[in-house]
Amino acid sequence: MTRYSRITGTGSYLPPRRVSNADLAAELATKGVETSDAWIVERTGIHARHFCAPGVNCSDLALEASRMALAAAGRTPSDIDLIIVATSTPDMVFPATACILQHKLGIAGCPAFDLQAVCSGFVYALSVADAMIRSGGARRALIVGSEVFSRILDFNDRTTCVLFGDGAGAVVLEASDQPGVLATELHADGSHVGILCVPGSVSGGQVLGDPLLKMDGQAVFKLAVGVLDKAARAVLAKAGKTEADIDWLIPHQANVRIMQSTARKLKVSMDKVVVTVGEHGNTSAASIPLALDAAVRSGRVERGDTLLLEGVGGGFTWGAVLLNL
Ligand code: UT7
């Protein structure tokens, strides 16, 4: 019997502090940095984002989202035999946030590791977990995207600090005789490292270089639209499906204009695109599982629906996962 992997529960968590564009613009104005609600909404579709309180870390958000996903799947932490946390804003340089999460969940023994593919992190993690489950290496995986991007934003740079937020999303992915994940497609091109990066590093007890996010927004925008279209077509072809089979497109939530371009190229109506960037901002690896959970809990996305998830981000990395929920 062929072994597949299937999502059995979703969860998500946003820290309580909601920062509207107007709140952020007022805060930035005190530093002499000029922006406006009108500019942010028109260029990105973002109205607000959530920021963590000081002392709240990636693993804390991951824990809340994981508990919700486990409850939705009808599982307890001890049922889990693999933990992957996709993040670029881990609690520590090491050990992995996945190990910290494992301990906070009160379990030990199963493999737990972080996956670093920035905003593509969740589709990368889902693909890795799917492969491990299909090959018999795991039966019930907890896959989390969790980020505290507020910690790496340069609040003197209006071209980036208005775009990102904090949050976490999680899924339980289980072995199943019914598909589940239909096909996955992952890519990277390291020649674009410089267009989206946090160039600093830790050495000799000091931070070397700039530890804040740098982005060439227009270069990222152009690359993103092209590679997302290619990844979407490739993953559909692998699964023997077409655009018409997609019930819901759940893209990485970076900018509503990128999502509109991707949907237009794929000839998918915006009515079938889950858009949460307006209230979440760009939460990097957390954005897709946050959007998925919001769509599941609102009843829009239902069991049996065919979902196309697609991510793109620093690296440059990109990928897509086609699945039946
Ligand atoms: O997760 C993946 C990572 N990120 C992305 O996917 C981001 C991809 N890129 C984008 O979303 C867009 O390129 C941005 C939203 C970052 C920028 O939008 P844009 O339409 O490409 O604007 P732009 O960079 O061409 O800037 C237009 C103008 C500039 O002023 P001038 O030179 O025309 O006078 C900027 O200085 O807007 C100005 N500007 C701002 N004004 C008010 C840039 N940021 C702001 C701001 N508030 N926050």
Give the tens place of pLDDT for each residue, 255-282: 999 999 999 999 999 999 999 999 999 9
Q: Whose CA is nearest to atom 2 of ligand 1?
A: 313
Question: In sequence order, what DSSP letters do the residues of 159-194 get, joined into one string?
Answer: HHHTTB-EEEEEEEEEEESS--EEEEEEEE-GGGGG
- Per-position b or e across 203-223, b if 16+ CB within 10 A of its CB: eeeeeeeeebbbbebeebeeb
Q: Which residues of the chain are in CATH 3.40.47.10 domains?
A: 4-176, 181-324
pLDDT value at residue 118: 98
Mean per-residue pLDDT, 283-299: 98
At 247, the pLDDT band (50, 70, 90 cuts) reads: very high
Q: Whose CA is nearest to atom 4 of ligand 1?
A: 254
Ligand 1: residues with CB < 6 A are 35, 39-40, 43-44, 119, 158-159, 162, 196, 217-218, 220-221, 224, 254-255, 258, 282, 313
CATH topology for the 4-176 domain:
Peroxisomal Thiolase; Chain A, domain 1 (3.40.47)
Quick check: pTM over 0.75? yes
pLDDT value at residue 2: 86
Q: Whose CA is nearest to atom 7 of ligand 1?
A: 217
Pick the CATH number of 181-324 from 3.30.1490.100, 3.40.47.10, 3.40.50.150, 3.30.479.30: 3.40.47.10
**Site of tokens 């077509």:** 233
d(CA 248, CA 285): 19
For the stretch 164-215, pLDDT in tens is: 999 999 999 999 999 999 999 999 999 999 999 999 999 999 999 999 999 9
Closest ligand 1 atom to the C-alpha of 252?
1
Closest ligand 1 atom to the C-alpha of 44?
15
3-class DSSP state of 105? coil
Element spanning 290, H or E: helix 287-297
In this prediction, what percent of the chain has a pLDDT beyond 70?
100
3-class DSSP state of 205? coil
CA-CA distances (angstroms) from residue 1 to 5, 317, 323? 13, 34, 19
Q: What is the mean pLDDT of the chain?
A: 97
Using the mean position of ligand 1's atoms as its centre, give its distance from the Cα of residue 198 in Å.
18
pLDDT at 144 over 80: yes
Active site residue 252: yes
- CB–CB of 189/315 below 8 Å? yes
| Alpha-carbon 132 to chain mean position | 20
Amino acid making up residue 17: R
Residue from 119, 161, 255, 280 carrying the catalytic annotation: 119
Cβ partners under 8 Å of residue 66, min gap 6: 11, 77, 101, 105, 142, 144, 170
Using the mean position of ligand 1's atoms as its centre, give its distance from the Cα of residue 190 in Å.
23
Diameter over CA atoms, the chain: 64
In this prediction, what percent of the chain has a pLDDT beyond 90?
99
Using the mean position of ligand 1's atoms as its centre, give its distance from the Cα of residue 229 in Å.
22
For the stretch 72-125, pLDDT in tens is: 999 999 999 999 999 999 999 999 999 999 999 999 999 999 999 999 999 999
Active site residue 282: yes
pLDDT value at residue 48: 98
At 14, the pLDDT band (50, 70, 90 cuts) reads: very high
At 1, the pLDDT band (50, 70, 90 cuts) reads: confident
d(CA 209, CA 159): 20
Using the mean position of ligand 1's atoms as its centre, give its distance from the Cα of residue 38 in Å.
13
pLDDT value at residue 132: 98
pLDDT value at residue 135: 96
Using the mean position of ligand 1's atoms as its centre, give its distance from the Cα of residue 89 in Å.
23
First to last CA, the chain: 20
| Alpha-carbon 79 to chain mean position | 24
Q: Which of 7, 4, 6 is nearest to 289 (CA)?
A: 7
pLDDT at 46 over 80: yes
Amino acid making up residue 248: W
Cβ partners under 8 Å of residue 84, min gap 6: 98, 112, 113, 114, 115, 125, 128, 129, 141, 142, 143, 144
Cβ partners under 8 Å of residue 1, min gap 6: 177
3-class DSSP state of 270? helix
State the SS3 of 41-74: HHHHCCCEEEECCCCCCHHHHHHHHHHHHHHHHC
Residue from 21, 58, 252, 324 carrying the catalytic annotation: 252
At 239, the pLDDT band (50, 70, 90 cuts) reads: very high
| Alpha-carbon 123 to chain mean position | 8
